[in-house]
Structure 1
């Protein structure tokens, strides 16, 4: 056999292995509570029959067992609880993968300012000349008395090495002079966008502080080229399944060269192309295995990756729309408010927020309206970062105008984070058929700071109005915004149900929701936000078998113990992707 024939045979084997051949297998789940998250929760089924990744039948144990064949796998829940898999509608797995290699300065692993600076200086000493020291999680809210590093301090510990520190909020950063030089930033560099800037002192010299996403991008472009995230991407996707998450939505892919996009498509899509298989065999793409469904919202920098039509991808991997920003973070003073931030030591001393500051929009209302109108008319779903009440008012105004000019009812445009959102704004959002996703663990981790240092008691009682959103008839979801907070669905659920912060203080009791509503916000409501409510989000016949087994029934657990519930097994498309 000559070499050409051998090559042809090898390619034929590869091509055959790329076909999407279904596996004839079936599973019966029985022996424990089954919470379907369907419209009618009055009926509690005893068993579920799954075949070829789909839910075929839901009903009594007797009727389901009649469907058993010789190769059916019986899973006795032994009193454990079966639910549809959780859906994380607002996450950043790519950013999480890149940050995995960063030095951790966060309040989750450090308790005092001394710990932070000792850890940073130790990393600097280990680094080679010219090397970048990358750190994450800088957080004056969780670490008392932690002050922002000065440029002179960073230069003194690393005169010949670049330092870049990203805040826990991911909306601000600090860099030393060498890092700024390599980024191409000088005192004469113009601010890239309203509210996004390179801070200067009274002498118009750089301080090293960088505010908001647009100003961070020059560093981002350098850092992304330094990190190979192939292994980290797989590890991050695996971390979702350990928490019972079966579907994720990435709100903005940040790499310009598209490496992470290609890897995500390869890992999640239900088919594998010939080229993908070859690249996998060559080690360029990671090994394909069952993992989470993945829906993507691109950012404007990646518009070249938009497919020609919204009808792209499949029910495992798809580009849904565009992510836009209107304001920033409460912890950098860039959340856009109707009334000024509170006067406090944290705001003026630690965060250097001036008195009577209200934040500002990161884009003009007119420019934002034109972006909304353009992407809406192209048919893409739009997800907008909006935290402050003034921001939300202007964002809703832009959508109201665009939708009046180009009516389309089932667009499901999304508003993300929604820290302050008035009842009248909720009513308008409902009229426009918009949907909200709440960054609920702002309350858990930073509720005390929001009340005492950032917003004051009156406004803090109104934050994250989940119950009001439900009362307005809106579909809503909860999210962790990984890597800002850990995934942990039951931490989100517990916070939404109890409205208590990590100090066990109650905040906004009137906005507490039931456990059932919280569960639905992470299952069927989230599925609706992704236009997937007829495919996932509940245990119903004809839907995909995306399922999670829990060690306890969340409807029977004390609200204060919800976050202690453990995931036993996770299934995507009938495939077991995690087992305790």
Structure 2
């Protein structure tokens, strides 16, 4: 037997592999796990073997983030974007306005400024970001305020001029540019195509090298993440990502999904990349965000001060971004080529529509291991999960909604029945679906332990429990942040569990979450993160 480069021992080891339960040692050579077991693993020790003493800490497979936006999130590490998120720096409206004032005063004359994280639900009291107000803040400077969900933004005249937008500019497919009664642009833009129409020229121009993306990946590694997706990847980012990996700055594996476009094609080959980076799919959006009012539901929003602050009318109902025919065309263009499809959807009507589209595509082009995906799944019903399971569809849940917006969902937007049953994790598991959890960063910061705690307890920040019958077990929650998302990303053969032959993508936690009350998981620190046996983060 070859000797190991390192042997981990001295603490609990959670393998997430039923074939290797509760080992005491694991051995690693050339970045891969070569042995998992008891004292016999020590037979792999050689003269140069490093014995890694966990010191009572707990070893797990590295966390896998199935739905995030690293090439968008990297903007938070540039000097053009100011963080005003309620979940990070600005919990109140006063904090937002004070931060904006300081940032505009400090920015060089004429330089664009993007404020990310505006949220009238979690930051009540914010003014209406009208075109006149934004023009007053910066008549010569492009200014954009990006709503925290990422599905809505407001821009001033200088920003629209910078992007070449005019009253005659047509709406991009899947998005829209808001206009007043006279047909004039208001500066308000919806959905990724609309937001990128005004913000893209600024963001793509600001990111020319891999440094910001390296910082973003380092922040993921600090949370124990070793693999992530990019749900909305732009071909314009390929040179940046290539430089990241060529210069050995990467600390996280990436599996990316290119945004669907009106061209309905990608120039990237289906077989591409390596174990560090691959494009594996195409991303599409059925509807928008519950915090904006544009999700496709069979039920109305409540009539509350909060929905009034969102600008929603009486008994407001959201809508879809695409017709059924458009979705059929998009999926019909990419899926027969072999691409996996990942579809953003919150509303129950939207779920029905995309499942109809998926069912039609599967009938025309059967594929036993397609792993077609639904993303977020806020209002998805138990019956819809059962239908998805029959079709072989998998789901990634934005369970962090329960923690940050749980009270808002029940009291302000949808009521106890609809809002309280948001992201039905237990119903999904009962239907036989392999689920994952995600943070959709930059919407909320990466926090796998908080995701798992939210799914196990279904507690909001105030301690309210939403639909306790939808709680899941700790083991199920760990699987939803490790092996399940690895499987969704077609990477279960190299990551997601501590199994011989897989990469030593590992995380060491200060405490064993199985032995700690989930209410206290926020206090569990990440001690070390490893990618292929090499530390990428050390506390």
Aligned to 1:481: 440
1:44 maps to which of 22, 26, 37: 22
SS of 2:233 mapped into structure 1: coil
Aligned to 1:130: 110
Aligned to 1:392: 351
Q: C-alpha deviations, 1:477-506, integer Å up to 9, x for none?
A: 000011111101101111111101111111
Aligned to 1:432: 391
Distance 1:313 1:189, change over 3 A: closer
1:76 maps to which of 47, 53, 57: 53
| C-alpha contact (below 8 Å) 1:306/1:319 kept by paired residues | no
How far apart, CA to CA, are the structure 2 residues paired with 1:542 and 1:550? Answer: 23
SS of 2:369 mapped into structure 1: helix
Q: Provide the TM-score with structure 2 as the length reference.
A: 0.94
Instruction: Tell me whether 321-330 or 159-168 shows the greater mean CA deviation.
Output: 159-168
Q: C-alpha deviations, 1:337-389, integer Å up to 9, x for none?
A: 111111111112x2111223221111110110121122111001110111111
1:31 maps to which of 10, 18, 27: 10
How far apart, CA to CA, are the structure 2 residues paired with 1:471 and 1:330? Answer: 25
- Two-structure CA RMSD over aligned residues (Å): 2.0
SS of 2:459 mapped into structure 1: coil
Unaligned stretches of 5+ residues in structure 1: 1-22, 269-275, 277-286
Instruction: Tell me whether 84-93 or 453-462 shows the greater mean CA deviation.
Output: 453-462
2:41 maps to which of 64, 79, 86: 64
| C-alpha contact (below 8 Å) 1:33/1:80 kept by paired residues | yes
Aligned to 1:180: 160
Aligned to 2:330: 371
Aligned to 1:455: 414
Instruction: Tell me whether 26-35 or 529-538 shows the greater mean CA deviation.
Output: 529-538
- Report the CA distance between 1:474 and its aligned residue: 0.6
| C-alpha contact (below 8 Å) 1:344/1:453 kept by paired residues | yes
Q: C-alpha deviations, 1:423-449, integer Å up to 9, x for none?
A: 221111111111000011111111111
Q: C-alpha deviations, 1:13-36, integer Å up to 9, x for none?
A: xxxxxxxxxx99611011111111
| 1:357 equivalent in alignment to 2:337 | no
Q: Provide the TM-score with structure 1 as the length reference.
A: 0.88
| 1:156 equivalent in alignment to 2:136 | yes
| C-alpha contact (below 8 Å) 1:24/1:52 kept by paired residues | no
Q: C-alpha deviations, 1:237-293, integer Å up to 9, x for none?
A: 111111111111111213x5x3x323324444xxxxxxx5xxxxxxxxxx3146211
SS of 1:409 mapped into structure 2: coil
Aligned residue pairs, count: 533
Aligned to 1:244: 224
1:329 maps to which of 289, 292, 297: 289
Q: Following superposition of structure 1 onto structure 2, how do residues 222-241 of structure 1 map, counting pairs within 5 Å?
A: 222-228=201-207, 229-241=209-221
Instruction: Tell me whether 507-516 or 287-296 shows the greater mean CA deviation.
Output: 287-296
Distance 1:553 1:115, change over 3 A: closer
Distance 1:78 1:331, change over 3 A: same
SS of 2:67 mapped into structure 1: strand
Q: C-alpha deviations, 1:185-231, integer Å up to 9, x for none?
A: 3344333346x323234454433322222211222331124313532
How far apart, CA to CA, are the structure 1 residues paired with 2:42 and 2:51? Answer: 9
2:431 maps to which of 456, 459, 472: 472
How far apart, CA to CA, are the structure 2 residues paired with 1:304 and 1:372? Answer: 11
How far apart, CA to CA, are the structure 2 residues paired with 1:508 and 1:191? Answer: 40
2:525 maps to which of 537, 558, 566: 566
Q: Following superposition of structure 1 onto structure 2, how do residues 142-541 of structure 1 map, counting pairs within 5 Å?
A: 142-193=122-173, 196-228=175-207, 229-254=209-234, 256=235, 258=236, 260-268=237-245, 287-289=247-249, 291-301=251-261, 306-308=267-269, 310-348=270-308, 350-541=309-500
Aligned to 1:121: 101
- Report the CA distance between 1:148 and its aligned residue: 2.5
Aligned to 2:76: 99
How far apart, CA to CA, are the structure 1 residues paired with 2:520 and 2:151? Answer: 32
Distance 1:460 1:94, change over 3 A: same
SS of 2:194 mapped into structure 1: helix
How far apart, CA to CA, are the structure 1 residues paired with 2:509 and 2:118? Answer: 34
Distance 1:233 1:24, change over 3 A: farther
